[in-house]
Chains A and B, each alone.
Chain A
Amino acid sequence: MRIAALLSGIALACAVHASEDKLKAGVFDPPRAAPDFSLEGSDGGELKLSRYRGKVVVLGFGFSHCPEICPTTLATLARAQKKLGAGAKELQVVYVTVDPERDSPERLRAYLAAFDPSFIGGTGSPERLAKVREAYGIFAARIGGKDRYGFDHSSFVYLVDREGSLRALIPYGRSADDIAHDIAILLKK
């Protein structure tokens, strides 16, 4: 009887542990290497994804004039980062613009700093940015007139693990708690 109780206790503990270790985001199986890129960083240096090997990277695409999706996503990421406590320094948020015409490195730096000063942006020539989007399956289409325009663009963000593997995709709208939960799992590994 005691052995049965012990075994069921172990099984329950394993089940709880398994669910804690399960990502809430969309998971790639098997994970593939996250395509590297070389862009102009908002910190004034060269922005390469491989520069952050050893950290967990949240990689998103957007533009600083975005009225809703980007500010919501970045604010949620900033909240998720704070929830990580000491683990926050092991996380790097990288935001690549889809609007190189208006998003200079300086503009990106000022924009991202409003959410968290550690966030880094990437820009470059339209051709180079298009190649990065293609490598990540990102959709971006310019909408509106010549002077007043915006972009219809993919709203999800990627999670890249410490080894540089593309592990998961977080759809737009997930809570800071869910995002922090997934990042914490990747930080443990």
Chain B
Amino acid sequence: MKRRLRYALILAAALPPSAVLWAALGPFVPEDRNQVFEIPQGTWARRMAGDNVSILPNEVRLTLGVRDVLVLKNRDDVPQVFGPVLMMPGQSFSLPFEMASTYRFACTAHASGQMTVTVEPTPGLGWERLAWRTRELF
């Protein structure tokens, strides 16, 4: 019984450092590199009713090699200008990025008339990866 308790305590003490170690050094194996934004059905009707609906942020942040495909989906019943593209009802648009940089698109959906996509480099081993995973958690 005492031995079991000792093992449990050792395990409990070892787990947090292991998790931090994994977060800092573990490889990225993304199942899905898509960052999806969707216009839900009824958005146009809500806008017409005076509701200030905002779906797409002014700035979209992507990470190369981890989440680097911007996916826009129009589930509404009317065409929508979404980011840089005019999309028909039911249509989706996926834009992969291969270079870390800041991309600016004209976007009539925003008051600034502009949408910025910031593609950050793949976080390096250690602190960068740990910071990225911590940010993703919250």
Interface: A12 (CB within 8 A):
no
Instruction: Give the residues in chain A near B90, CB-CB below 8 Å.
Output: 30
Given A154-B106, A171-B103, A171-B105, does the pair A137, B86 have CB atoms closer than 8 Å? yes
Are A24 and B84 closer than 8 Å at their CB atoms? Answer: no
Question: Given A26-B95, A169-B93, A171-B95, does the pair A32, B85 have CB atoms closer than 8 Å?
Answer: no
Is there contact, CB below 8 Å, between B93 and A29? yes
Q: Do A137 and B103 contact each other (CB < 8 Å), given the known contacts A24-B96, A29-B91?
A: no
Given A32-B88, A136-B86, A169 and B95 touching (CB < 8 A)?
yes
Please report the total number of A residues contacting B with Cβ < 8 Å: 21
Interface 0/1 of B107-138, CB less than 8 Å to A:
01000010000000000000000000000000
- A133-183 residues with Cβ-Cβ distance < 8 A to B are 135-137, 139, 152-156, 169, 171, 173, 178
Known pairs A137-B86, A171-B103; A27 contacts B81 (CB<8 A) = no
**The 5 nearest A-B residue pairs measured at CB:** A137-B86, A26-B95, A139-B106, A29-B92, A32-B88
* Pairs A–B under 8 Å by Cβ, sample size 19: A24-B98, A26-B70, A26-B95, A27-B94, A28-B93, A29-B91, A29-B92, A29-B93, A30-B90, A135-B86, A136-B86, A139-B108, A139-B113, A152-B106, A154-B84, A169-B93, A171-B84, A171-B95, A171-B105
